[in-house]
C-alpha cells in the first residue's frame, strides 16, 4: 500500500453469514472512491465480484433491512 500524507484507515466488517457485509463493503468502496479516496478492497468473499457488478440501488435496498453499528478504535504505533 502506498503511504500517503494522511496515513491510512483500515475498515473491518464483521457480522454473521448472509447479514449484508459484502453489500455494505461494496457500497462503501464505491462511495469512498467517489469522494477521491484510494480504496483497496480485499476480496475474501466469492460473492464480492457479483456484487461489484450490481447496481448501487440493489445494494442499498439490501441494506435497508439491517442495523449497522460503527465503532471508532485508535491504534498506536
- Give 35-68 pLDDT, tens digit per residue: 999 999 887 778 888 888 888 888 888 888 888 8
Q: Per-residue pLDDT averaged across 7-28, rounded?
A: 88
pTM of the model: 0.75
Q: What is the DSSP string of the chain?
A: ----TT----------TTSSHHHHHHHHHHHHHHTT--------STTHHHHHHS-HHHHHHHHTT------------
More confident residue, 73 or 31: 31
Query: Taking 60 as the threshold, does the pLDDT of residue 1 lie above it?
Result: no
Amino acid at each position: 500500500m502506498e503511504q500517503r500524507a494522511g496515513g491510512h484507515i483500515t475498515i473491518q466488517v464483521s457480522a454473521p453469514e448472509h447479514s449484508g457485509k459484502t453489500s455494505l463493503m461494496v457500497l462503501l468502496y464505491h462511495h469512498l472512491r467517489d469522494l477521491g479516496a484510494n480504496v483497496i478492497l480485499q476480496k475474501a468473499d466469492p460473492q464480492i465480484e457479483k456484487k461489484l457488478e450490481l447496481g448501487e440501488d440493489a445494494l442499498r435496498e439490501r441494506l435497508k433491512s439491517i442495523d449497522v453499528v460503527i465503532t471508532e478504535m485508535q491504534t498506536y504505533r
